[in-house]
Structure 1
Amino acid sequence: MTPNAVNGIDPDRFRDPTTAWLGLDGEWRVIVGSSTDERRGLVLLYKSRDFFNWTQSTKPLHYEDLTGMWECPDFFPVSTTGSDGVETSSFGQDEVKYVLKVSLIETLHDYYTIGSYDREKDVYVPDLGFVQDETAPRLDYGKYYASKTFYDDDKKRRILWGWVNESSPAKDDIKKGWAGLQSFPRKIWLDESGKELLQWPIEEIETLRGTQVNWHNKILEAGSTLQVHGVTAAQADVEVLFKVNEIEKADVIDPSWTDPQKICSQEESSVKSGIGPFGLKVLASKDMEEYTSVYFRIFKSNDTNKNTKYLVLMCSNQNRSSLNDENDKSAFGAFVAIDPSHQTISLRTLIDHSIVESYGGGGRKCITSRVYPKLAIGENANLFAFNKGTQSVDVLSLSAWSLKSAHVNDESISPFIEREDSHSPKQS
Structure 2
Amino acid sequence: MTAPATDLRQAALADPLRPAFHFTSPAGWLNDPNGVAQHDGVFHLFYQYNPLAAEHHRIRWGHAISTDLVRWHDRPIALSPSDGGPDADGCWSGVLVDDNGTPTIVYSGNSAATPTQTACVARSDTSLDRWQKEPGNPVIAAPPAGYNVTGFRDHCVWRENGAWRQLIGSGLHGRGGCAFLYESDDLIRWRELGPLIIGDASALPENDDAWPGTMWECVDFFRFTPDGTSAPPDARTHDPHLLIFSAWHEDVTRHSLIVRGTYRDDRFDAHAYQRLDLGGRHAYAPQTFADESGRRVLWSWMQEARPAQAQHAAGWSGAMAIPRRLWLDDTLTVRQEPVAELAMLREAPLAFEPHGAGFAASSVQAEAELSVDLPDAGAVQIDVFATDDEAEQTVITLRRSPSTIEVSVDRSRSSLDDNVDASPHRGEVPGAGATIDVRILLDHSSLEVFVDGIALTTRVYPTRADATGIRVEPSHGATVRDVKGWHLARAEARDRTPEPGAESHAASRHHDPRHRARSGT
TM-score, length-scaled by structure 2: 0.62
SS at match of 1:174: helix
1:80-128: per-residue Cα shift (whole Å, max 9, x none)? 443x3x222667724x21001111113610011111111xx2111122x
Do residues 122 (structure 1) and 266 (structure 2) align?
yes
1:322-357: per-residue Cα shift (whole Å, max 9, x none)? 0111111111111111344xx201110000000000
1:385-406: per-residue Cα shift (whole Å, max 9, x none)? 123x3x2422111111000011
Distance 2:302 2:115 in 1: 32
The correspondence of residues 351-370 of structure 1 with structure 2, limited to 5 A, is: 351-361=442-452, 363=453, 365-370=454-459
Deviation at 1:38, TM superposition (A): 2.5
1:245-280: per-residue Cα shift (whole Å, max 9, x none)? xx35x2xxxxxxxxxxxxxxxxxxxxxxxx22x132
The correspondence of residues 178-217 of structure 1 with structure 2, limited to 5 A, is: 178-194=316-332, 196-213=333-350
Distance 1:87 1:409 in 2: 37
Partner of 1:346: 437
Do residues 100 (structure 1) and 243 (structure 2) align?
yes
SS at match of 1:166: coil
Partner of 1:87: 231
Match of 1:238 among 345, 368, 371: 368
Distance 1:112 1:326 in 2: 32
The correspondence of residues 232-271 of structure 1 with structure 2, limited to 5 A, is: 233-244=363-374, 247=375, 250=377
Partner of 1:160: 298
Match of 1:46 among 182, 188, 194: 182
**Whose strand fraction is larger, Structure 1's or Structure 2's?**
2
Partner of 2:60: none
Structure 1 residues 28 and 410: CA distance shift in structure 2, 3 A? farther
Partner of 1:150: 289
Structure 1 residues 193 and 81: CA distance shift in structure 2, 3 A? farther
Letter of the 2:318 counterpart:
G
Distance 2:352 2:234 in 1: 44
Deviation at 1:411, TM superposition (A): 4.8
Do residues 292 (structure 1) and 394 (structure 2) align?
yes
Task: Answer whether contact 2:150 2:214 (CA < 8 A) is retained.
Answer: no
Identity among equivalent pairs (%): 30
| Aligned CA-pair RMSD | 2.7
1:283-342: per-residue Cα shift (whole Å, max 9, x none)? 111222111122201112xxxxxxxxx3211111111100111111111111111344xx
Distance 2:491 2:115 in 1: 46
Deviation at 1:79, TM superposition (A): 2.9
Do residues 226 (structure 1) and 362 (structure 2) align?
no
Do residues 172 (structure 1) and 303 (structure 2) align?
no
Deviation at 1:36, TM superposition (A): 2.2
Partner of 1:78: 224
What runs of 5+ residues in structure 1 fail to find an aligned partner?
Answer: 131-135, 251-274, 301-309, 416-428
Distance 1:317 1:371 in 2: 10
Partner of 2:462: 373
Distance 1:243 1:290 in 2: 28
Deviation at 1:65, TM superposition (A): 3.2
Match of 2:257 among 93, 101, 111: 111
Deviation at 1:380, TM superposition (A): 5.0
SS at match of 2:342: helix
SS at match of 2:316: coil
Match of 1:328 among 404, 407, 421: 421
Distance 2:361 2:467 in 1: 14
Distance 1:414 1:152 in 2: 30
What runs of 5+ residues in structure 2 fail to find an aligned partner?
Answer: 1-113, 117-140, 202-212, 501-521
Partner of 1:386: 473
SS at match of 2:195: coil
Task: Answer whether contact 1:214 1:397 (CA < 8 A) is retained.
Answer: no
